Amino acid sequence: YAGALAHVVQCGYAWGERTLGVMPLYHTMGIHALTSMAVVNGCFVCQPEWSAAGALRLIAAERLTALYLIPTLYWDLVHAPELARADVSSVGKLAYAGAPMLAALTEACTAAFRPEIFVNHYGSTEVYTFSVNRDVRPKPGCAGRPGIHSELRVVTASAERRVGPEEVVPQGTKGEIIASLGSDEAFAGYWNRPDADAKALRDGWYFTGDMGYVDADGDLYVAGRVDDMIISGGENIHPVEIEEVLARHPRVRDVAVVGEGDAKWGERVVAFVVPGADVTAEELDRFCRESPDLATFKRPRRFVFVEAIPKTASGKILRRLLRDGHYAEVRS
């Protein structure tokens, strides 16, 4: 109930809102999309099996006013051939969760839907809301401020020792994001998993395993998972930084970055790219070199062209599968 109320407030829902029900109801996004409609006497229009064309038909036929989807599904919508002829004028409110949305996709969604509100909801199953950014357009990728029930900190990230919730890092410094378990949306602990409790729960705080930092405005940015960090030549490299740059290339449909073992550097950066059209590794390397947003030492040392990026049902990249060679390579 607390999560449903918070979702209504944070997404700016009005009485009689109408939304698409496509996220599975075992997932926090699906259940909160449903319960929030109950709170506002709204309409939850079910789509049992996802297709972008089907979703666009439902948006037009049912005059849907709000969408709450993972970035992968938004990607499908804005790249669907049917979008050019679809009537999406009823949609005034967009929100996403489950995974980061790259700036290029934020811009594409804005152009396609022209929303009044475009919300980034950052949270988890354990604590539904961490933070909310009510308008991602001025600061794409920004996770915003703590939700109405939430308290957050960014603390020292360490795989070598047990960090306490009081070890807060300075503004602008990357660390691990932690959330207060005092939230009305927080869980009580893992079912029969004392090992998981011991790892993630400390002194009333949930250690998310996410890396992030707070900018000069006091807004939170998520920089990937602690376990995903690449250490090359003693430098810490966050995959999301590189993915943001490569996603801006007009002939890159999707991208994921991982580290692979290297005798000299410890790890080297590898980019897995789903090409949207003919593109070469040399062209992408030049694009990275010329980007003002990427230091030279962070650029990928190898590009692999693949059919698809493996992801969870909520749109999170399964980097371990890429590291372990579970992908279908294509020529480009």
The whole domain housing 311 covers 229-323
58-114 pLDDT, tens per residue?
Answer: 999 999 999 999 988 999 999 999 999 999 999 999 999 988 888 889 999 999 999
One domain, residues 118 and 71: yes
Other C-beta atoms lying within 10 Å of the C-beta of residue 219: 15
Using the predicted structure, report yes or no on whether residue 34 has a pLDDT greater than 70. yes
Task: Assign residue 41 the CATH number of its domain.
Answer: 3.40.50.980
3-class DSSP state for residue 269? strand
Helix (H) / strand (E) containing 240: helix 239-246
Cα dihedral 319, 26, 153, 103 in deg (nearest 10)? 50
Is the distance from CB of 304 to CB of 298 less than 8 angstroms? no
167-186 pLDDT, tens per residue?
Answer: 999 999 999 999 999 999 99
Encoding tokens for residue 137?
Answer: 């357009």
pTM confidence score:
0.81
Using the predicted structure, report yes or no on whether residue 234 has a pLDDT greater than 80. no
One domain, residues 306 and 219: no
CA distance 59 to 109: 15
274-330 pLDDT, tens per residue?
Answer: 998 889 999 999 999 999 999 999 999 999 999 999 998 778 899 999 998 999 998
Using the predicted structure, report yes or no on whether residue 159 has a pLDDT greater than 80. no
One domain, residues 206 and 290: no
The string of DSSP letters for 282-303 reads HHHHHHHHH-TTS-GGGS-SEE
Encoding tokens for residue 301?
Answer: 């040392």
One domain, residues 118 and 75: yes
Domain limit, last residue, from 204, 225, 246 = 225
One domain, residues 27 and 116: yes
* Residue 332 forms part of a structural domain: no
Tell me the pLDDT band of 332, cut-offs 50, 70 and 90.
low
The residue with tokens 């707070």 is: 214
138: which DSSP letter? S
Other C-beta atoms lying within 10 Å of the C-beta of residue 327: 19
Q: One-letter amino acid identity for 83?
A: L
Domain count within the chain: 3
